[in-house]
Structure 1
């Protein structure tokens, strides 16, 4: 049986087949994907204003994560379709919201279906339960889910859809559709809502729910098989599973498949853990080439590896890239700037100065923090070939105000060493170098041999 992986859609199953939407997991291990773009349980945080123009408004960090996750899933889905996967999209409620762009305090209107490959259809919000099947390949799916189906979206196509999967009785609203993309198939189906009796007192799936889920997966596999078949093949009717038509010689084959699937699931689980660890370890590479919020996140990660605590700050009035505390008790305010092909100039330096003054004006702050400007000049060039760093004006200002200037490519080198070696003494030396070189471009101690 083909491997089924679910993103953002929890359905009755006793297998490790669920992936969170707010992750960057791969879809490579699944033959059939179920995708539900439901963002409300992903932990994204709203801006202090909560809404903008009547729609939810996410804070800067969550805005970056949402865009990153949407882009990741779009890439995974396109790659999967091109390789021949069948991807079922659960047409859950369409949510529109605003996000920070990270550019000049501007915002963008987004929605939770922006991961879909470009196509000649749009998704329109509407709700109802009167759903009718109009294709034989979804006959079993409709029988299995008709009491659980509810539509929250209908499909509006620029071209007439001759053979929809599902629609309203008059066909004025298309509720399900299949689209051939690359070697694969994108299958849009209505939302599925599970009843309370699918859960026991511990909120686990009941035995009956798991039986439902097993048949659900079989039906999806049958639909996928039909879509991939060069010749139209009718999905296997339910009644063929009666004992009257059972084939005894398939038992050993099925058992062998199950044993191998158990081995595969264990390997996939181990790979998922390793991939998560790999993603976290590789964040510091962003110090070499990123800008904006991605660079800010990488700097925070690096500082934590060096023993600092480092967090962004936004109280609705004051927004800071980094508030940094050292184990020695020193407090810093950090700002980050990445430049494609040029020096880091005085503009970000002035912003850091303003941040230092505004932070000191807060009632809970008794002592003015030190400043650090993290710069990633010529970020699109190999660090070994870079010739620029901070402008002369920026250097003179740093000397006057006792602000440390740190090249993030230098930060990468020492962070990589500490991450791989765990050298506590070297951490202390690096923190000491930053404190003692306020007003200059920080030169970190040479890496131990």
Structure 2
């Protein structure tokens, strides 16, 4: 289920999931995309999503549209609670450029998008709010018992204005459609649209040991909801009962001419889909590799270590992890300018303290004891302090004690979001001189490393513009 209930008899998944709906007979679904929306960026009064958020949202929307359609055609009951209509602008991957040199301006082409794109039905939702509703004769056949129990909990947040909507609930005045039932022609499956319900009502949650837990009222509500949707599913199953096609009917002598043509077209389409899926898999893998650099902004542990190695490689170091039977170092890296050993530390909501410096000093001594090493390596502590907060709002990444100890031990302190800034620039542009300055900044600094400012690039100034609808 894609809505959360206070019972162990259902399984919850969020919108940003690749779960298949074919594993369940009944699905409760809400087209809610709040987790994708960053309200800090707007265009024409609506949220404007970043490139990465646009890609993720379109991918999830396509996933759910496909899953809902397949589930209904496979005989499942999918109930959609009609949540708020969220209008946003998403990136189209198209750019327009004007001006030259430092004055060049990039225009990002965006298009309007909404959360109901994931619904495989022409319902054309329009924003509207209210609670006065009535059930229609069509609805009384299937959802009368549900409506009797949950009408008091229901509120409409959109009106369905699509053509030929099979309405089951209307507004009391104006008789606008706020609920509908689409039945599959090929199975007992159905796609049912119902007015929204607040599944996180204040009466359903209470604080306990610094966390929110379900109340007894929430458990009673969940039990009633389960009984109601199971009753709907059983009614649909009885209505849609059909005799399975016997094997002898599949003989070619009974096949329609148009069937063979459609089957041939279907086979070609499946072949194209296989190729596209293979291409998509390769592109997704490439995208994951490229996006790993962003781990410098928010990760800790092994993921942070791997992204540090990626960044150091980008700025011209030969970098790798080192471990043998006696020693294990987060990263050993070198260039023509010198050789260095680094330790990485990420903190959720604290600055980096002196603890890791002790470990780093031990690593330098262990490394020097190796026969192939002639002189001590430069010590570098990579810190991702306050990693769960936006970079611009973080406090000092290293404690005063850590800084003073770094001066004494000639250790360079690197704030990983600063490393991300220069590595991002160098991943997009070959600039050997700038890369050398970055390497020297690490090699020559004791205490906090200050990287050189990233050169201003053509197309730095940008604005959004809506895609033409012509």
TM-score, normalised to structure 2's length?
A: 0.46
Q: RCO greater where, 1 or 2, for CA within 8 Å and sep 6 or more?
A: 2
